[in-house]
Amino acid sequence: MRDETITTSGIAAHGASRLPWVEIDSFNLELKDEEGFLGDRVNKAAFWETLEEWRKPLRKSGEDPFGNEPSENISKKDLDAILAGDDAEASAVVHSAVEDFAQELVHVTRRFLKTKAWDRTERIVVGGGFRASRLGELAIARAEIVLKAGNFKVEILPIHRHPDDAGLIGALHLAPSWIFEAHDSILAVDIGGTNIRCGVVETRRKKAPDFSKACVWEFELWRHADDEPTREIAVKRLVKMLKDLIEKAEDEGFKLAPFVGVACPGVIESNGSIKKGAQNLPGNWESSKFNLPASLIEAIPRIGGHETVVVMHNDGVVQGLSEVPFMQDVKRWGVLTIGTGLGNARFTNRNGSWRNG
């Protein structure tokens, strides 16, 4: 386990291993086999490569139901429609790719479960962009069946919320509980290799003190991969998005906390720097001269008259944290996020401490 770091003010350090509700036993674990990183076998690109492999023999015989369309150009929405449609051959191709992908997911999950950090895991939730499709739901369900057939006593379930919302809502669990006594919402940021998403997360603690009713009230999305910005331009755009959301929240009468929770790829150090794993972000985010939390505080020093606090953690961790209210019937659980890469984190509940807020 990483060294626990909590400041005297009750604010968890960036990348902390202990949070108010959970211990983070492991995150961003990189496992390898003879073919390379295991995560490369169950990311979005891997699924489309599998689909392409099933199309090749049909293409040679001139019977490919997808015609000449490159596999990587076929969207999840299109494939979901095929699964629900009447074209049996096209549907069979997609089901074959789903089955192969599910088997790879089983292989990777078994490897995680055999590590010390993931020992005795009782439940795994799967998030990430791939989960937000019928394809993903089928692959997850099939993986659970195969694992149970192999006597692995672990549940595998899709993440409860839409992954885009989960990546923001999970930021609530980075904040100290006392901050919610006078505030009903926070700012959250989810940084990915393709998009940057910012949102105002409404706690709805009066309806559910455990944040199970929390929701994203408003969000802004920027697909930075299309613009290929420098790091400096990306940060400026992020700051503008946050300032716009602050103005909207204040106009709507929200009691916005002076807190920004940030989800970011990679290994997050306690000082807010990124040790490794940020290679898909615009510019060099791993530079010793760059610190995103410090940059955000400099640009937005106060929110609602109070000094701004920023806490950053790994994006897989934050997406997993959105599941805390739904994991109180188990003690040890994990998250896998299937997107550009494979995010992962393993948690141990801290004796249901969220119940006491």
- pLDDT tens column, 305-345: 999 999 999 999 999 999 999 999 999 999 999 988 899 99
Are 24 and 37 spatial neighbours (Cβ–Cβ below 8 Å)? no
> Residue 258 has what pLDDT?
97
CA dist 329 and 264 (Å) reads 28
- pLDDT tens column, 249-307: 999 999 999 999 999 999 999 999 999 988 889 999 999 999 999 999 999 999 999 99
- The angle subtended at Cα 272 by Cα 269 and Cα 275, nearest 5°, is 40
pTM score, whole prediction? 0.90
Are 199 and 218 spatial neighbours (Cβ–Cβ below 8 Å)? yes
CA dist 126 and 112 (Å) reads 13
What are the residues facing 198 on neighbouring strands? Answer: 189, 220
| Architecture of the domain spanning 22-30+162-356 | 2-Layer Sandwich (3.30)
Joined together, the tokens standing for residue 52 give 């392409």
> Residue 140 has what pLDDT?
96
pLDDT in 10s for each residue of the chain, 357 residues:
444 444 334 677 999 999 988 999 999 998 988 888 888 999 989 999 999 999 999 988 888 999 989 999 999 999 999 999 999 999 999 999 999 999 999 999 999 999 999 999 999 999 998 998 999 999 999 999 999 998 888 999 999 999 999 999 999 999 988 899 999 999 999 998 889 999 999 999 999 999 999 999 999 999 998 999 999 999 999 999 999 999 999 999 999 999 999 999 999 999 999 999 888 899 999 999 999 999 999 999 999 999 999 999 999 999 999 999 999 999 999 999 998 889 999 999 997 544 444
